Amino acid sequence: MRISTSGTRRWLLATALCGVLITGCSSGSGGGGSDAKPQAKPAAEPKPLAEGALRPLLLSQADLGTGYVQVEEKPDSGKFDDVSVQGCPSLEKLGQSGDETMFAAKAETSFTYDTDATLGEELHSDRPSVLSSKLHKLFGTYTSCPTYTMTAGTTPIEVKVTKSATPELGDEQFAYTSTMELPSGKQVLKTMAVRQGNVVVMLVGAPALVDRHMETAVGKLPAGS
């Protein structure tokens, strides 16, 4: 399967592991007999926030402290547009969804720390039920195969995935850790997402940085989001 990584080349490998979102499945139960009682109308869900409303909620250098440098947005050269995955049928199926399965709105930023570590943040917004179903399926898929091979260009990269513990934040939490055998050596990345209402905070990067800053990232969301 091929995963589009357009717009996120500054942390390619992290995005290749978590940058494709899929539409969650839903199933309805049919009514019983003719004497079934009317169901109460469900409460209306909060509407998605627009990208302009998400951007002020992103982490900043002031939030992170010293040693962090925000990475300037650059046009995508297309060098890493295609990433292929082998050895994990569920991931191969996931890649067929493409960009059309993204959430309603998205904002993102990324930072380097002491020049050799990265921290990327994405904020997504949609109706809470949509966020929940997609996140459950997305993280379920990425943790379904303990090992697989990812090819960036012509370089095969062996990937090992393990589920990770999550803090008690927001309404739902998801996390996994990926260990990649790169030509330059081993790289470990942690992906963690916390849903609070109609907004999801997703951090990807060095595990210590993700663990250190998730509470701050969730704390920037407005109450009741």
**Residue pLDDT, tens place only, 39-86:** 555 568 889 999 999 999 999 999 999 999 998 766 554 444 567 888
Looking at residue 114, which CATH number applies to its domain? 3.40.1000.70
Q: Give the whole-number percent of the chain exceeding pLDDT 70.
A: 72
The tens digit of pLDDT for each residue in 169-210 reads 999 999 999 999 888 889 999 999 999 999 999 999 999 999
Give the model confidence (pLDDT) of 92-102 as tens digits. Answer: 887 665 544 57
102 domain-assigned: yes
- 3-state per-residue secondary structure call for the chain: CEEECCCCHHHHHHHHHHCCCCCCCCCCCCCCCCCCCCCCCCCCCCCCCCHHHHHHHCCCHHHHCCCEEECCCCCCCCCCCEEEEECCHHHHHHCCCCHHHCCCEEEEEEEEECCCEEEEEEEEECCHHHHHHHHHHHHHHHCCCCEEEEEECCEEEEEEEEECCCCCCCCEEEEEEEEEEECCEEEEEEEEEEEECCEEEEEEECHHHHHHHHHHHHHCCCCCC
Position 225 scores a pLDDT of 62
Residue 109 maps to a domain: yes
181 domain-assigned: yes
pLDDT at site 24: 29
Residue 42 belongs to a domain: no
Q: In which domain, by residue range, is 116 found? A: 2-24+47-219
State how many domains the chain has: 1
* 6 within a domain of the structure (yes/no): yes
Inside any domain, residue 39: no
Confidence of residue 154 (pLDDT cuts 50, 70, 90): confident
Q: Does 93 fall in a domain? A: yes
Is residue 189 in a domain? yes
pLDDT value at position 9? 33
